C-alpha cells in the first residue's frame, strides 16, 4: 500500500488561509491589483490577530 496511515489535525492557520484564498480570487479575476490584495490581506490578518489576542 502506498499510504499506510494518515493523521488529521486542525490547522490553526485556517482563518489566514481562507482570507488569502478569498482575496486571491479578486486578483485572479482582474478585479483588484496585487497591491490592493496584499493590503487587504494584511489588514484582515491584523484584525484577526487582534481578535485572538
Q: Output the pLDDT for position 1.
A: 57
Contact by Cβ (8 Å): 23, 34 = no
Q: Output the pLDDT for position 52.
A: 82
30: left (phi > 0), else alpha (psi -120 to 50), else beta? Answer: left
Q: What are the residue boundaries of the structural domains of the chain, listed by start?
A: 14-52
Least confident of 5-9, 32-36, 38-42, 44-48: 5-9
CB atoms under 10 Å from CB of 23, counted, come to 19
**pLDDT range class, residue 45, cuts 50, 70, 90:** very high
Of all residues in the chain, what percent carry a pLDDT higher than 90? 64
Q: Over the range 30-42, which residues count as b (16 or more CB within 10 Å of their CB) and which as e?
A: eebeeeebeebbe
Amino acid at each position: 500500500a502506498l499510504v499506510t496511515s494518515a493523521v488529521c489535525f486542525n490547522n490553526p492557520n485556517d482563518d489566514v488561509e481562507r482570507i488569502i484564498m478569498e482575496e486571491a480570487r479578486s486578483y485572479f479575476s482582474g478585479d483588484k491589483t496585487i497591491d490592493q490584495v496584499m493590503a487587504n490581506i494584511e489588514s484582515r490578518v491584523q484584525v484577526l490577530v487582534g481578535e485572538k489576542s
